[in-house]
Amino acid sequence: MSAVRNALDAHNIAAADRQRQEREMASAWRDAASHVVEVRFLEPLSLQDREFAAALAELDQQLSRAINLIR
Protein backbone atom coordinates (compact mmCIF):
# COMPACT_ATOMS: atom_id res chain seq x y z
CA MET A 1 0.00 0.00 0.00
CA SER A 2 1.36 3.42 -0.93
CA ALA A 3 2.12 6.12 1.62
CA VAL A 4 -0.53 8.36 0.07
CA ARG A 5 -3.10 5.56 0.32
CA ASN A 6 -2.10 5.20 3.99
CA ALA A 7 -2.59 8.95 4.38
CA LEU A 8 -6.04 8.73 2.80
CA ASP A 9 -7.02 5.89 5.13
CA ALA A 10 -5.71 7.81 8.16
CA HIS A 11 -7.62 10.91 7.03
CA ASN A 12 -10.85 8.90 6.73
CA ILE A 13 -10.32 7.38 10.19
CA ALA A 14 -9.66 10.81 11.75
CA ALA A 15 -12.73 12.28 10.07
CA ALA A 16 -14.88 9.32 11.18
CA ASP A 17 -13.66 9.67 14.77
CA ARG A 18 -14.56 13.34 14.79
CA GLN A 19 -17.94 12.68 13.20
CA ARG A 20 -18.72 9.96 15.77
CA GLN A 21 -18.16 12.52 18.54
CA GLU A 22 -20.33 14.96 16.64
CA ARG A 23 -23.16 12.42 16.49
CA GLU A 24 -22.84 11.79 20.22
CA MET A 25 -22.92 15.52 20.81
CA ALA A 26 -26.01 15.82 18.61
CA SER A 27 -27.85 13.16 20.61
CA ALA A 28 -27.09 14.74 23.98
CA TRP A 29 -26.95 18.43 23.27
CA ARG A 30 -29.60 20.02 21.06
CA ASP A 31 -29.86 23.71 21.64
CA ALA A 32 -28.89 26.96 19.97
CA ALA A 33 -25.30 26.68 21.21
CA SER A 34 -24.80 23.25 19.67
CA HIS A 35 -26.38 24.50 16.44
CA VAL A 36 -23.82 27.29 16.22
CA VAL A 37 -20.97 24.80 16.74
CA GLU A 38 -22.42 22.56 14.06
CA VAL A 39 -23.05 25.26 11.48
CA ARG A 40 -19.88 27.25 12.00
CA PHE A 41 -17.33 24.52 12.57
CA LEU A 42 -18.44 20.93 12.16
CA GLU A 43 -20.31 21.15 8.86
CA PRO A 44 -17.51 23.13 7.16
CA LEU A 45 -15.03 20.54 8.46
CA SER A 46 -17.07 17.73 6.92
CA LEU A 47 -17.11 19.55 3.59
CA GLN A 48 -13.36 20.10 3.80
CA ASP A 49 -12.86 16.43 4.71
CA ARG A 50 -14.54 15.29 1.53
CA GLU A 51 -12.59 17.74 -0.59
CA PHE A 52 -9.27 16.65 0.88
CA ALA A 53 -10.12 12.95 0.57
CA ALA A 54 -10.74 13.53 -3.13
CA ALA A 55 -7.39 15.35 -3.41
CA LEU A 56 -5.56 12.46 -1.74
CA ALA A 57 -7.30 9.90 -3.95
CA GLU A 58 -6.35 11.87 -7.07
CA LEU A 59 -2.75 12.17 -5.86
CA ASP A 60 -2.56 8.45 -5.17
CA GLN A 61 -3.92 7.69 -8.64
CA GLN A 62 -1.38 9.96 -10.36
CA LEU A 63 1.56 8.61 -8.36
CA SER A 64 0.50 5.03 -9.16
CA ARG A 65 0.35 5.98 -12.84
CA ALA A 66 3.90 7.33 -12.62
CA ILE A 67 5.15 4.23 -10.83
CA ASN A 68 3.57 1.98 -13.45
CA LEU A 69 5.49 3.83 -16.14
CA ILE A 70 8.85 3.00 -14.59
CA ARG A 71 8.18 -0.59 -13.52
Partner 1 sequence: MSGSAAHVTPEAIQQVARALVRYGEAETAVVHTADAGVQQVADEVADEVKARQLKVRHADEALQACRREEDRDCSGLVQDLNKAEQALDQARQASTIVARAAAAFQMKRSKHMMTVQGLVDGGRARLRMNATDLAAYLGASSAGGVDFGTAGMGASPASAASGLAVPPGVPDGFALVPLSAIDPGDNPVTGPADFGKGYTAEDLAWGIEALHSVVLPALAIGKGADYFADRDAREGRFGTRSYSDTHSGFFNHDAVRLESSGDGRFTVGNGRHRIWVAQQRGDSVIIAKVS
Residues lying near partner 1 in the complex (CB under 8 A) are found at 2-4, 6-7, 10-11, 13-15, 17-18, 20-22, 24-25, 28-37, 39-45, 47-48, 51-52, 55-56, 58-59, 62-63, 65-67, 69-70
Q: Residue 56: which of 17, 6, 13, 1 has the closest Cα? A: 6
Question: Where would I find the beta strands (DSSP E) of the chain?
Answer: none
Residue type, 29: W
| Min separation Cβ 18 and partner 1, Å | 4
Residue 4: CB minimum distance to partner 1, A: 4
